[in-house]
Amino acid sequence: MTDITLSPANSPSRNWGRIALRWLLFTLLGLFALFYLMPLFVMVTTSLKSLEEIRTGSLVAFPREVTFEAWRTAWSGACTGIQCEGLRPYFWNSVILAIPAVAISTILGAINGYVIAQWKFKGANLIFSLMLFGCFIPFQVVLLPMARMLGMMGIAGTIPGLIFVHVIYGIGFTTLFFRNYYVSIPQELVKAAKVDGAGFFRIFWSIFLPLSLPIIVVTVIWQFTQIWNDFLFGVSFSQAGTQPVTVALNNIVNSTTGVKEYNVDMAAAIIAALPTLLVYVVAGKYFIRGLTAGSVKG
Amino acid sequence: MAPILDIKNLYKNYGSVEILKDINVAIEPGDFLVLVGPSGCGKSTLLNCIAGLEPITAGTIDIGGRDMTEVSPKDRDIAMVFQSYALYPTMSVAKNITFGMKVRGVDQATQEKKLNEVAQQLQIEPLLQRRPGQLSGGQRQRVAMGRALVRDPKLFLFDEPLSNLDAKLRVEMRSEIKKLHQNLNATMVYVTHDQIEAMTLATKIVVLKGGIVQQIGSPAEIYNTPANLFVADFMGSPAMNLIPARAKANGKGTQIEIERAGAAPLVLTDTHAKDLPEDVILGLRPEDIAEAGFRAGEDVQEADCLIDMVEPAGADTYVVSQLGGKQVTARLHAETNARSGENLSLAFDLSKVSYFAPESGERLN
Amino acid sequence: MTEWLERHIPKMVLAPSFIAILVFVYGFIAWTAWVSLTRSRLLPKYEVEGLIQYERLFASPRFDTAMMNLFIFGTLFIIISMVLGLLIAILLDQKIRTEGVLRTIYLYPMALSMIVTGTAWKWIMNPGLGIEKMVRDWGFESFSFDWVIDPDMAIYAVVIAGVWQASGFVMALFLAGLRSVDGEIIKAAQVDGIPNWRIYSAIIIPSMAPIFLSAFIVLAHLAIKSFDLVIALTGGGPGYATDLPATYMYAMAFSRGDIGQAASSAMVMMAVVFAIIVPYLYSELRVKHD
């Protein structure tokens, strides 16, 4: 679209102005890049330093001597309160929590979106509005009753309990994603398939699902990021041993016993961030699409 | 012969809005029925009702002598071609065509056989392994037809199938559909907003407006004796001239007087018309107004008219004159010497004239 | 029977999700609202007593601080993120060859957990070993940057971390908005000899009003729900200097055993979200139905 280089530039003075502007532009962009990269850089370098070097060296200096000791401690030795098993068990908690929660909420979202977009019935729009609104509530408002409900269902403090919570409060968004995707598919496709003799599930399975790969990727990434990064549900509905990685990270960082091991804190933070960072690097395009779809379209 | 499609007293409401009102249409096997009307007239809704894709509010739909009013689309023995073709985007052309058979559990060998027959008939054999996304508009159109043909149904339904094609392709596909109809001797119901498509394809036309049937008849009936002002204006291009006039009975028949600004009224005498009210709207198609000397017959009457505009169109030349406060178009031969701003003697062929009541719009003769 | 089944399958498929939403969203909101009107403490009670919990809430200096913090944090977080996001989006919109790489760099914080962000910034802003020490080592002995432990400044430290996390996302929204402006209008303006900055200020930015609204909604929503960031960065402290309604609610619910206060503060949060989201959702849905 707009393009500075397209503007007419005949006189040499204007040319100089343009080059100067271009330099200013790159300088600014570079500075911003530094601002965003600095914390990551600091995290990585700190995690590779010894405590001694941290105390004596500069925050932004490269490690004089690279050591992976902090990583080892963070993974398998750091204390989260009384236990000192590192992040490892909690990392796996997050994995076995996220996989079913993502899968179930995505499947439900797909079929809900399919109904709302393609099988409109009276009241479908109202139902959609109610589901959509559910995405926006501050979850504090459901914490207390949910804690009691999980107790009544006998899954309080368990990983299935957390999966249940993430599925329930994920449906709104997953439905929104699939609904907005399916709504752009012409209704005639369903009509044609009906005339061809296919029923509700057959049409979904043979025609809509094969079309849905992009939106499935977007939804899975969105849900995975949300659930992996969640802290509020994790801290509210887990107990010792079932905590997800974010809660464990916070416990490690804020545990008051012993010497503060900043290098271990940073290594633990990177470990906790690694899965979502990886997803972002590998499938950034879909990640951004999810972010914008989740916020722009109503 | 028993009608193959028989619609009786059909009503369709969306909430309190009446979309279709008291529709009664019957067609025989082999008919090509065209539902035509402006957008929003309910023609596509009617087609969807016939297909069973929309429930109806009241009335009955019989297909092949069976009451199908409550039957779901898959059991109505119909096939349908959609405006957007509605090809299944992730399936190959072959799978698109055989999907219906597969769903119905037709065995593999029969599927193959039918697929090959249809592919040959429509000349789409080289396309069978492609995806719809790799096809041109015309090719998609053929595949959509193939999907319908392979079903060998009692009734083919077409929902504006040519409206997404460019002008040239549309004419080609139009004649191809016509050929197909003749070769298969199939019964077809076809929705369009294009009155030329309606005229060229139909054996029977239903003109709809505002959910109400305006006229049912053969293309010739619709064209020559439109039932009201709407049909007269909608069917035919350029449209029929509709000129306000005054009628007075006299000895030889009826004297028709048309006002002209800055000149004496134009007076014509119709020897056939009887019992016309004083105020009428006279309808005459452009081809029924010719240059004097080029049209003969006992009902042809000539008069001098001031030509406002001359529009050569290749095969014909159209001239426009102001009559009764309306722009009246006449279709002359290409070599006419008509000049705008000059008088020209025009021949009005009153054997083709229609009269309408100005208020109700109904036909009077 | 099969006909009936066929017609009602869509509704039956949607029903479980809908019922779940009804119970676990709307039912639970109703429960919280109810309990916020009782004298519940450690255990919920169900006798409605009126607005006593809200009276306690608004009389509590701690909640007062929390609301004030929400206001300061929300305002600064939204304004700075928007300005920064828009600025970067415009800079990136100048046909930069490395745009893809830069965009990836600006946006990656959004993929992180707020706990990770908080942990990182807590370390960076650590007065003894972080930025303060770094600058002092450079020779500026009197330099001081101890916001995370200064009760008056700690909330601004939260703003820094919040902006770092969310501004890249705002950039992505705005960049998409800039790119969606009709190219012909811009060409027409260029032909008319209108300078680039005027094209932005007079044509492109005004046409992005809906994007500003979306960005505002998302950021406001993030601000109100901010919980993890504060917990990780300051733990709500020093004292309760960086408490937000979200951390107040959590403290009441799970460490202070004051269910009545937890419920009423949750309802206040709900009301704030309502005031922002409902007009937005209403306009969105209404436009859709036209």
Contact flag C95-A131 (C-beta cutoff 8 Å): no
Contact flag C6-B72 (C-beta cutoff 8 Å): yes
C-alpha–C-alpha distance, residues A107 and A112, integer Å = 9
Q: What is the pLDDT of residues A241-289, one digit of tens each?
A: 899 999 999 988 887 666 778 888 899 999 999 999 998 888 877 877 7
* Rg of chain A taking only CA atoms, in angstroms: 25
Cβ atoms of residues C231 and C247 within 8 Å: yes
**Which residues touch A1 (CB under 8 Å, ≥6 apart)?**
C93, C178, C179, C181, C183, C186
**Where does the pLDDT of residue A294 fall: very low under 50, low under 70, confident under 90, or very high at 90 and above?**
low
Asked if B72 is an interface residue toward chain C (Cβ–Cβ < 8 A), one would say yes
In this predicted structure, the answer to whether residue A296 has a pLDDT above a threshold of 50 is no
Query: How many Å lie between the alpha carbon of A257 and the closest alpha carbon of chain C?
Result: 16
Asked if B71 is an interface residue toward chain A (Cβ–Cβ < 8 A), one would say no
C-alpha–C-alpha distance, residues C124 and C120, integer Å = 6
Parallel, antiparallel, or unpaired: how do β-strands B188-192 and B32-36 relate? parallel
Contacts for C125-131: CB closer than 8 Å, 24+ residues apart: C125/C157, C125/C160, C126/A262, C129/A54, C129/A55, C129/A59, C129/A262, C130/A59, C131/A59
* Rg of chain B taking only CA atoms, in angstroms: 25
Q: Which of A8-22, B94-108, C125-139, C156-170 has the lowest mean pLDDT?
A: A8-22
End-to-end CA, chain B:
32
Secondary structure element (H or E) that encloses residue C69, with its range:
helix C61-92
Contact flag B90-A211 (C-beta cutoff 8 Å): yes
Q: What is the pLDDT of residues A174-220, one digit of tens each?
A: 998 899 899 889 899 999 999 999 989 999 999 999 999 989 998 99
Query: In DSSP terms, which residues pair with B270 in a beta bridge?
Result: B254
The SS3 call for residue B363 is strand
Locate the chain A residue with the closest alpha carbon to B85.
Answer: A188
Q: What is the pLDDT of residues C88-120, one digit of tens each?
A: 998 888 888 888 888 889 989 988 999 999 999
Going residue by residue through chain B (365 aa), what tens digit of pLDDT does each one get?
688 999 999 999 988 899 999 999 999 999 999 999 998 899 999 999 999 999 999 999 999 889 999 888 988 999 999 998 999 999 999 999 999 999 999 999 999 999 999 999 888 999 999 999 999 988 999 999 999 999 889 999 999 999 888 888 899 889 989 998 998 888 999 999 999 999 999 999 999 999 999 999 999 999 999 999 999 999 988 899 999 999 988 877 888 899 888 788 888 888 888 888 999 999 999 999 998 888 888 888 888 889 999 999 888 999 999 998 889 999 998 888 888 888 899 999 998 899 999 999 999 88
- pTM assigned to the model: 0.85
Query: In DSSP terms, which residues pair with B33 in a beta bridge?
Result: B189, B204
Q: What is the pLDDT of residues C16-25, one digit of tens each?
A: 999 999 999 9
In this predicted structure, the answer to whether residue C238 has a pLDDT above a threshold of 70 is yes
Cβ atoms of residues B111 and B96 within 8 Å: no
The SS3 call for residue B198 is helix
The DSSP string of B210-273 is TTEEEEEE-HHHHHHS-SBHHHHHHSSSSPPEEEEEEEEEETTEEEEEE--TTSPPEEEEESS-
**Which residues touch B177 (CB under 8 Å, ≥6 apart)?**
B145, B158, B161, B190, B201
**Where does the pLDDT of residue A6 fall: very low under 50, low under 70, confident under 90, or very high at 90 and above?**
very low
Closest CA to C233 of C134, C133, C167, C159: C159
C-alpha–C-alpha distance, residues B183 and C166, integer Å = 66
Backbone angles phi, psi at B264, to 5 degrees: -65, 150
**Which residues touch C157 (CB under 8 Å, ≥6 apart)?**
C121, C125, C147, C148, C233, C234, C242
Cβ atoms of residues A226 and A295 within 8 Å: no
Number of neighbours of residue B89 by Cβ within 10 angstroms:
14
C-alpha–C-alpha distance, residues C225 and C208, integer Å = 26
Cβ atoms of residues C215 and C167 within 8 Å: no
Query: How many Å lie between the alpha carbon of A229 and the closest alpha carbon of chain C?
Result: 4
Contacts of C131 in chain A (CB under 8 A): 59
Average pLDDT score over residue span C221-247: 86
Cβ atoms of residues C121 and C161 within 8 Å: yes
